[in-house]
Amino acid sequence: MKSLEGKSLLALIDCTPEEIRYLLDLSHRVKQEQATAERPQRFRGQTLAMLFEKRSTRTRAAFETAFGEEGGHPVFLSSADIQLGAKETVEDTARVLGRMFDIIEFRGFSHRTAEKLACHAGVPVINGLTDQWHPTQALADLLTIEEHTGALEGVTSVYCGDGRNNVSNSLLVGAVAMGLHHHIICPPELAPDPDLLATVAARQDYPGTVTVHHDLQSLPPEAEVIYTDVWVSMGEEGQEAERTGLLSPFQVTDHVMARAPKAIFLHCLPAVRGNEMTPSVIDGPTSRVWDQAENRKHTIKAVMLASLGLA
């Protein structure tokens, strides 16, 4: 898709539904290639800078393997390796890396850092996670849901827990853009940003809906997806006791899953068994979290192919 060539992906709210649909279709295609052991070598001669302020399992593994297995050269750069925002401004780092790499991935804290990189690098920047958005995770979530249901439009999805974190924000946008009926069940103190809800509601090109509840009794029985995330995000460890108190009533248990008999269970990982869900849920027959984790790779590869004009 021409509109994605040379474009950064910082948040799904910056994409049209047609662009998201294209990325999902491309993700299905590259996943099928993986299944048949195809390695087209589309990244041959290309370089990827991977900037990490935060630790990672799935994001790092997905970017590095997706790029490397098709002949590209990924370079991992942690905050201990480079001067990003320390002795050198983010803008200067962006200018330097943009002259040496074809594409940049950033995983860190401030979303403003990702925006500065994208503004000054001159090459596409992919957001591997910031405190506000996690777009590649939401794409993997949508791909997993579509694999299970066969379609996205009209599907009822539920997110339980911290309703204003980066995962919830991104899933909310992706779900409504793709026509899902999305429900967020959370404590009032951790509800989605009203400005985000208003922005999504104002998008005439978004066919889906979002509804916020504050009690698990409101979980719709027709739900086909029940999703949760950790109670304490990276960088918020000092708030563990407060978050546990707020979120304990929103734990996903077998009883909760039974309220929606058709639902699969999703979690972006890492997971804390006994907190946001019971072990019997994440390790049980309704869990699709391992498919979801694998799909990080396929959706990330699709994003990089599209941004580099190589699809």
Does 15 participate in catalysis according to the annotation? Answer: no
Q: Flag whether 137 is marked binding.
A: yes
Does 268 participate in catalysis according to the annotation? Answer: yes
Q: Flag whether 273 is marked binding.
A: no
Catalytic residue (choose from 132, 160, 268, 292): 268
Q: Flag whether 234 is marked binding.
A: yes
Q: 153 near 121, Cβ under 8 Å?
A: no
Q: Flag whether 269 is marked binding.
A: yes
Catalytic residue (choose from 229, 243, 292, 298): 229
Does 273 participate in catalysis according to the annotation? Answer: no
* DSSP per-residue codes, 5-44: TT--BS-GGGS-HHHHHHHHHHHHHHHHHHHTT----TTT
Q: Flag whether 113 is marked binding.
A: no
Q: Flag whether 287 is marked binding.
A: no
Catalytic residue (choose from 120, 134, 183, 243): 134
CA 125, chain centre distance (Å): 15
Catalytic residue (choose from 46, 137, 251, 292): 137
Q: Flag whether 233 is marked binding.
A: yes
Cα distances (angstroms) measured from residue 145 to each of 131, 139, 220, 223, 278: 24, 10, 17, 12, 21
Q: Flag whether 79 is marked binding.
A: no
Q: Flag whether 132 is marked binding.
A: no
Q: Flag whether 268 is marked binding.
A: yes
Q: Flag whether 136 is marked binding.
A: yes
User: How far is 95 from 210, CA to CA, in rounded Å?
Assistant: 39
Give counts: helices (H), strands (E), the chain. 11, 9
Q: What are phi and psi of 157, to 5 degrees?
A: -120, 150
Does 251 participate in catalysis according to the annotation? Answer: no
User: How far is 157 from 183, CA to CA, in rounded Å?
Assistant: 6
User: How far is 287 from 292, CA to CA, in rounded Å?
Assistant: 10
Q: 40 near 69, Cβ under 8 Å?
A: no
Q: Flag whether 209 is marked binding.
A: no
Angle between helices 289-307 and 58-68 (to 10 degrees): 50
Rg of the chain taking only CA atoms, in angstroms: 19
Q: Flag whether 41 is marked binding.
A: no
Catalytic residue (choose from 182, 183, 296, 298): 296
Catalytic residue (choose from 60, 107, 182, 243): 107
Edge-first strand listing for the sheet containing 264-267: 209-213, 181-185, 156-160, 225-228, 264-267
* Residue 258 burial (C-beta neighbours within 10 Å; 0-12, 13-18, 19+): exposed
Q: What share of the chain is helix, strand, coil (3-state, %, to 5)?
A: 45, 15, 40
Q: Flag whether 239 is marked binding.
A: no
* Annotated binding-site residue numbers: 56-59, 83, 107, 134-137, 166, 229, 233-234, 268-269, 296
* Annotated binding-site residue numbers for carbamoyl phosphate: 56-59, 83, 107, 134-137, 268-269, 296
* Annotated binding-site residue numbers for L-ornithine: 166, 229, 233-234
Residue positions annotated with a catalytic role: 107, 134, 137, 229, 268, 296
